[in-house]
Structure 1
């Protein structure tokens, strides 16, 4: 009998430990307006706990950015999509390769930060990007982003031409390029995406229901619904200059 309890306690402890995993993701490149830059550095610790993930230190303690939840409706055998709060805001999109070896952080303007899961350097104990609280009066609960190494983790300069203003000494009006429209990569221009809420049925029977928006049939326990796309905010596109 004692042997049974020892085995049970060992199993519970192992389950609790394995329920939470911490991985380090190194920034390898940034894609801006379709152009790739590898002049980047830095990395984030990501902790996974069941269907959520969050930015943390190497021990799994959150750094205060919030959490993201797995969106099963937009995940498949190729990748896993997490949505929620992170360093990049409250509508962040973390698109992982299915085996979690690669992370794409997709921003509203279409910029993508590509991370790869690697062993963390011995000297690194927490995320290189952590939001800082604003202390100078006003709203003490607001946050300001911290940008180490000139912009985003390693000196990426979005001004490839080296000049963002008209040439000095010229009395001419600078030419303004027309914004370029791009279809939202998350909703594919549909403006809305699927979200499964998995509500508790409190003992009630489960059965199929028809979605009035897409016409599909889903189990009531799935909590199938459609929400405004958090990446384009319902526009179906984004623009770049």
Structure 2
């Protein structure tokens, strides 16, 4: 590794270490699942926090809290027992373009997973699509979305809701789902991510790519591709693997912190 690369690694390692600590949680959407201790509650709260994670971070957190309050702050219990009559209070829920129409389909999918299929964790909704030797979670993301809108299971899903679940098949960077998988998969040793899921490995994760992360990545020559799409997310992660092959997505903390907090 060249000296300049050594210097960059040392700098980004230091920034990742600086931001990946419990003080990071309060102002970030990850604070939403951190309000819970039961695995299924963390999975569900985290999923909604990630899906709603666009726009101002404060408004994201507020919207998530409002949604979870409608579930009596017991998301798993709600998913397991809600009926159509229980959905009336949710009719006015909206976060940017995500509204009750979208929410009801999300609730149906989650209830199908946990209650109908009797699966104890949401991990399998992703990990079941991976095959031995997969170096990334690309197949997991593709399979998850295909299942989410499988018209054999959900024959009347709203077409408009498709825009809220990204997929590499449509060249999306899948920022929000990649962020969610980072939360669930990476180790909890630093007190930020949860490390709940064991069938997906940290080395398979793809760095969440948004405008801020992409800007900083291009500054450090970690990203050349001009479009912020799936290929760009792969390219960035490939470069990050040269810095840490086992845990490349730890640098999300560094790039995000530099871009959003330090206005790098």
* Structure with more helix by fraction: 2
* Structure with more strand by fraction: 1
TM-score by length of 2: 0.22
Who wins on radius of gyration, i.e. which is larger? 1
Greater RCO, CA 8 A, separation 6+ = 2
